[in-house]
Structure 1
Amino acid sequence: MVVSYDDKRNFYRMMLNSDVTVTIIDDEINSTLVATCRDLSATGMAIEMTHPIEINTNVRVCMDSSGNTIQPLDVKGKVVRVTEETPDNYLIGINIAEID
């Protein structure tokens, strides 16, 4: 049996709607922002926030545990995609480089 995928990804994406803290590693003060994680896979994540982050920016994303369903998450990665969904809503694609 051949499985056809509309989404040609190598890893399964878990759809989420969880608050995350995003730290901009590339700036001198390590700015911290609050965002919403929309989906997560073994190699990347999509977060939603009110303003864009430049492509190639290094970030750290932390998600607290929400009971037994989601384990705490602490990853470092790089912004690889920025999509403006509305003037005050951006979808940020992050490639995960390191999981702590």
Structure 2
Amino acid sequence: MKGFDDKRDFYRMMLNSEVYVTVIDDEVNSHFLATCRDLSATGMAFEIEHPLAISTHVRVKIDSASSQVQALDVSGRVVRIEEESKNCYLIGITIEEID
């Protein structure tokens, strides 16, 4: 029997990087810093102090540590929210577009 991790099409890279998140809203786009925990070809998880609603559209930018490597700029949608502790939420997104 295959384990859960064996069913993944893409491996996750474990990270601990600061990312810039923009919540895409019709009225006001809010911006905040978050900590990216992991990244794969189809999704990402980041840690923030407040929850976001399922299906919220976001744009996430990870700056590159090298001038030879382009920053990662993705758009996606919230698919998972886990409260890890008081004022600590792990937000999972599916990546819908890479710029």
TM-score (norm 2): 0.89
**1:64-85 alpha-carbon deviations (Å, 9 max, x no partner):** 11237x7511000000000000
Give the number of the structure whose residues are more often helix, by fraction.
Answer: 2
| Matching residue's letter, 1:10 | D
The number of equivalent residue pairs is 97
2:72 pairs with 1:73: yes
The one-letter amino acid of 2:61's match is C
Q: d(CA) in 2 for partners of 1:50 and 1:85?
A: 10
Query: Quick one: distance in 1 between partners of 2:26 and 2:91?
Result: 18
For residues 85 and 76 of structure 2, the distance between their equivalents in structure 1, rounded to whole angstroms, comes to 24
Q: What does residue range 1-100 of structure 1 map to in structure 2 within 5 Å?
A: 5-7=3-5, 8-67=7-66, 71-100=70-99
The gaps in structure 1 that reach 5 residues or longer are none
Structure 1 stretches of 4+ with a deviation exceeding 6 A read none
Q: How far apart are the structure 1 equivalents of 2:26 and 2:45?
A: 21
For 1:92 and 1:64, the matched residues in 2 are separated by 19
How large is the Cα RMSD of the aligned pairs? Answer: 1.9
Q: Provide the rounded CA distance (Å) in 2 between the counterparts of 1:21 and 1:37.
A: 9
Letter in 2 for 1:37: C
Could you tell me the percent identity over the aligned residues? 64
